[in-house]
Amino acid sequence: MKQIGILLPRSGVYPTMTFDLVDGFKSAMTICGADNYELKTAGIGHGGNNKEIYTACEQLILNGASVIVGYINPSTAAALEPLMKASNTLMISLDAGYHLQSTTQRLQNTFTVSLQGTLAARITPYIAAKSEIGKFAFTCSFYDAGYRIPFGLFNGANENNCQIVFNHTTKLKKNEFTIEPLTSYITNNKDTAIFSATCGDMTKDLFEAAANSTAFTNTPWFASSFTAEESWLSQIPYPNTNISVIIPWSRHLNNKENDIFATKMTEKNRAPNVFSLLGWEAGKIVAEALKHADISAQTAALKSGTFSTPRGILRFDPHTLEAIMPLYEGTIIRNEDNGTCRLAIADAIPEDIVRLNYDKLRTESAQLENGNTSWFNSYGCLD
């Protein structure tokens, strides 16, 4: 019987994260007929301590795991790569896409599946420019400021003749939260659109404040992909204006795989979300890998493989071993039943636009290799 290890972070903002990841993984393995395995888990806190994660991963391998799955950031995955190579172990690294993979270290045993958050931010000015939007006021939570969303947005803006004319970061302490600087700027600069980057309760704080102001009613507003995470949207009051987003997935995507995924999650009394989605995709990938006897055959199969997932076709770039996935235009709108928010999904971003921006983001991320800092936590993992 094959043993699979899974590295699980914890989150106070997304308290069901670990259960969602595991249930998504197990359900996909069952769908693929891969039932002859034993799953071993290891807690990794908020995913920010590489030494502790290395030790946990090493112990899973010593106890017999031949495949490791983990919701970890790319720098952690890179730190684990020597261990993967030394032990001939396959790693499936799951990520929100709010960090960026190193451009100097080529991974061989580690395949990455992300929600492509920074890539979505980079594409946003391309979408905005089609509506002749040329100026952005950028606002983000103190937490989101420590990830790569601003980097993606700024590079996309430069390429699409958009200007970032105002920057605002909310305070860390909740009792100091205010959007007065943003409100004041937009009131006096009606030709400026908003781009916001928040998640979870930080989105709630932002939308509640916006709902109590008339400044944003006719202002074009764009947001980061996690702003539209559906389990939180259903709890958040509508901010009195629609908000455009680029998202990796929605419960409302109309395809057979998404229907199967939603059904299986519902059978487990779980609403499908982005974390069970990542678990599901990891399960399909691992099920394919387990058909092959050794690491060489496994990596060859994944490099050439095509996987049907709830958000579309998954293929790995054979050089970076990152999955390049579809992205979709969406709009946060009012839920007329209760006054909260809901997500309306529209068309997929053209595949050539996604690929072009992925390649450019890879080139640009080389600027961050030396001397730039960020939060180490896996995105969304905080109390």
**Per-residue pLDDT at 374 exceeds 90:** no
Q: Rounded distance, CA 358 to CA 200, Å? A: 26
Strands 328-334 and 341-348: antiparallel
Q: Going by C-beta distance under 8 Å and a sequence separation of 6 or more, which residues neighbour residue 61?
A: 5, 68, 83, 87, 89
- Residue 43: beta bridge partners? 8
**Side by side, which strands form the sheet with 37-43?**
37-43, 2-8, 65-71, 90-95, 110-114
CB 224 within 8 A of CB 197: yes
Q: How far apart are CA 168 and CA 56, in angstroms?
A: 38
Cα angle vertex 216, ends 210, 217, to 5°? 110
* pLDDT value, residue 372: 60
Residue pair 250/273 in contact (Cβ under 8 Å)? The answer is: no
Positive or negative: CA dihedral 353, 158, 379, 366: positive
Confidence of residue 104 (pLDDT cuts 50, 70, 90): confident
Share of the chain above pLDDT 90, in %: 91
Q: Which of 62, 83, 63 is nearest to 72 (CA)?
A: 83
When pLDDT is cut at 50, 70 and 90, the band that residue 45 belongs to is very high
Query: Which has more confidence, 100 or 31?
Result: 31
pLDDT value of position 369: 67
pLDDT band at 366 (very low <50, low <70, confident <90, very high): confident
- Averaged confidence pLDDT in the chain: 95
pTM of the model as a whole: 0.96
Residue 221 is which amino acid?
W
Q: Classify strands 37-43 and 2-8 as parallel, antiparallel or unpaired.
A: parallel
Tokens 């920057």, located at residue: 167
Separation of alpha carbons 127 and 132, rounded Å: 9
The answer to whether the CB of 99 falls within 8 A of the CB of 322 is no
Residue in 264, 250, 226, 246 with CA at minimum distance from that of residue 310: 250
What's the pLDDT score for residue 370? 62
- 46 touches 381 (CB < 8 A): yes
Nearest of 15, 80, 4 to residue 282 by alpha carbon: 4
